[in-house]
A and B are shown apart, each in its own frame.
Chain A
Amino acid sequence: MSKNGAQNGISAPTFWEQYKRKPLGMVGLFIVLVYIFVAIFAPFLTPYNPKQILLADRIAAPVWFRSVVPQYNDAPSTVRTDLGPNEWTVSEATGGKLSSQEQDGKTITVIGFDPVFSGDVIAEGEADAFEDSEFADAYEKEPDMSVVELSYVVPYTYSPPKTFGLTFNYWIDASPDSKTELQFVIETPEGKEFNLWGKSYSGALGSQPARIDSRDLTLKQRLGLTIFDDPAPRIFSSKGDYRLVLTAKATSGEEPTRVCISDTVFYIPGMVHGVLGADHMGADLWAQLVYGTRISLSIGLSAAAISVAVGTAVGIICGYLGGVVDEFMMRVVDVLMAIPTLPILIILGAILGKSVWNIVLLISAFAWMGTARLVRSQTLSLRERVFVEAAKASGASDAYVMITHILPNVLPLVFAGMVLRIPSAILTEASLSFLGLGDPRVATWGRMLHNARGFGAFTTLAWWWLVPPGLAITFLSLAFVFIGNTVNEILNPRYRERS
């Protein structure tokens, strides 16, 4: 009877009873459940999308560094303002006004200048003025420009930042004989003014981008700095309210001049960001870690499931049918096992292209052989069992015997094997991603490590970039190993403790 009990396998409730008593198995299960929870609720655990860039300065530290590391006490968080017509305050307006306009789903800031009265009207109303021909000439040559000044107050309460930026698009609708001047100035709390940008145009102008970046050499020259000076710390040297001032001056020709400004963003990248800081592109690392759980779990589970399914099918067919099929498949298995997996995956990954499903299929293609051998050996013993002969004595076909009698009896073995196959699939995927052969469109832990290695985490000692993905991979793999070993201990008589 004892022999029989060992081969009988275990019903689900009994299995759970035994599993509960194994502390390592429970720890593994708990860890995996945590990971699954994180994977499912990823959008609730982080407000950011892992692909969203420029959330902070490159390699920004975690936000909690402020209270732990002295240098980071006042480190700036990201300041980012989208400036639309509602944000601006009109601080001066002579001969023009601020208005807004909807275009292509965007709200555009429009500075409209008053139209010039037609010649007749001028002649009638101000006839006396034109009697002095000198004055009139002067008026003709340099007409007064209308001025609209918009301002926006940025409170800044951190230590000086490393960089800042200002971007917007603008265009001018005007008659050819009109003139327009635009200027961007930052006014510090002390009243100092930094003239960041200025342009003057005559006539109309198509849409132009303006990209003000504190690292820009032309900006440094404009501010009278050497190329080795950083404007950002000089401008934002103290805490207080800074004013961004946009001044538009214009004359109107036959038609009124309009200055349109869209997509205005003022941006001071933070040196601290989020739970785990930011990567070299200013993308949120915590978001990458959290969303990476999804990829790693799904790659691990699906690659393990596919490889085990293939291995089981091959193993049962070879073991049961034997003969030429068996010989051939087992030689294929030998050959595949002899090939070093990682190099061949690198080559095939490069040829077939970088997509998550390609990687899953590649990993599965080189991971089914162990299962096939295991299942084949089990099948060789099962096919000689009397209940198989009994089925044949009732006229059962090979397919019937394989599905009804062999498969259920190899499943427990296969199940334990599958759990143990998951961590190796996860590690293989991480290795490929680390080598830069992963899917570039998705955030995975391997990719995080790849970026960390390639973009300066080592040189800047940004351990908050390096360590979390490493630990995430380690703990997930470890958890599956714990579970797999426990399942093996329970289902696989060979591993059962003799006590």
Chain B
Amino acid sequence: MGAVRATDEERRVGHGEVILDVENLVKYFPLRRGFAQSLKGGPDLAVKAVDGVTFNVKKGELFGVVGESGCGKTTMGRTILRLLEPTDGKVVFEDTDVTALDPEEVKKLRRRMQIIFQDPYESMNPRLDVSRIIAEPLRIQGIVKNAVDARPYIEKALEDVEMTPPEEYLFRYPHELSGGQRQRIAVARALVLDPEFIVADEPVSMLDVSIRGEILNLMLNLCRERGVTFLYITHDLATARHICDRIAVMYLGKIVEKGPTDSLVKHPLHPYTRALIGAVFVPDPKKKGFGKVLSGEVPNPVNPPSGCRLHPRCPVCRDICKEVEPELVEAENNHMVACHFALG
């Protein structure tokens, strides 16, 4: 994956204008209760998937969101795109308040914000061929009326994802393509509307390690050369580290640490980040990680722990952690952390 590694020069940190501003974003999924239970009263229960997330993404940036399964990162990605309705909070894309748009305006917004899904085997209708899959956004948006009009757009999108010659792939069905090719098609579908912002939701986690690099490279190139802004959601800190300019670490619906990639990876301040880094496999027997891997399971997001949400699993937990929820504060230059005992 050497080719993927972004150079330090490329990691443009802390400059450029903000393209996406997420403010205290909250997404709860109410639990359905039986009639008898609702008679009993008590508070309405909900899965607190995203519980007050604030961050911004700058134009032309590759912003990484890292977290365990079930920490709410995918929900957050979809809520930002209004694929899910936010419970609270605000998402401002350029100057548009995404959360306040009516359906007609959301449809227009789709041209500028797109998404790449995790599973390339699932994200395409098995009954449509490549040309129709890629042309679908164009048709829905009314940009083209028929297959002939769509052809140049499709070919360009296929070239953008380095599937050449395009004619070879146009009329294939998803099941005739490999996983990597499918994910390229998924990227091409996201690109065909020429969006400014793409949420990449674990785009490589379902792929073989050997082809992950290709897709990551592709994203990096699109970001650097075409200036597409990416929100890269992953559970794999290693891949995020290789391509992202900035990284936010999520735990149980909250951001616990965020900062420029180098600073965050080399000087992790939050015990959870340290644990994540410690869990990354390093192909060097002499090197040791930052410490122990966390024990235990992620707690139930219906009833998150009081105080600091990590405290039942945290190796440095003290009494205050159980009662007071730590704020996200700036510890170093642009490097924020939410921990009472942020590690130096």
Contacts and interface: CB of A to CB of B under 8 A. Distances in A.
Interface string A462-475: 00000000000000
A393 B125 contact: no
Interface string A107-141: 00000000000000000000000000000000000
B117 A8 contact: no
Interface stretch (B44-52, B134-142, B263-271): B134-142
A408 B119 CA distance: 21
Contact of A394 (B122, B126, B141): B141
B81 A393 contact: yes
A400 B140 contact: yes
A9 B83 contact: no
Interface stretch (B19-27, B107-115, B151-159, B272-280): B107-115
Contacts of B111: 395
B140 A390 contact: no
Nearest to A11: B173
Given A393-B114, A394-B137, A395-B110, A387 B83 contact: no
Interface in A1-17: 1, 4-5, 7-9
Interface string B185-196: 010010001000
B226 interface: no
Nearest to A7: B126
A386 interface: yes
A387 B141 contact: no
A392 B117 CA distance: 12
Contacts of A408: 125, 127
Contact of A386 (B110, B119, B137): B119
A387 B189 CA distance: 11
Interface string B134-177: 00110011000000000000000000000000000000000100
Contacts of A395: 106-108, 110-111, 137, 140-141
A243 interface: no
Interface in A399-416: 400, 404-405, 408-409
Contacts of B122: 385-387
Contacts of A386: 117-119, 122-123
Given A392-B83, A395-B141, A8 B123 contact: no
Contact of B140 (A4, A5, A394): A394
A394 B136 contact: yes
Contacts of B189: 390, 394
Contact of A387 (B125, B175, B193): B125
Given A4-B175, A393-B115, 14 more contacts: A4-B126, A5-B175, A8-B175, A389-B117, A389-B123, A390-B136, A392-B83, A393-B81, A393-B114, A395-B107, A395-B141, A396-B136, A396-B140, A404-B125
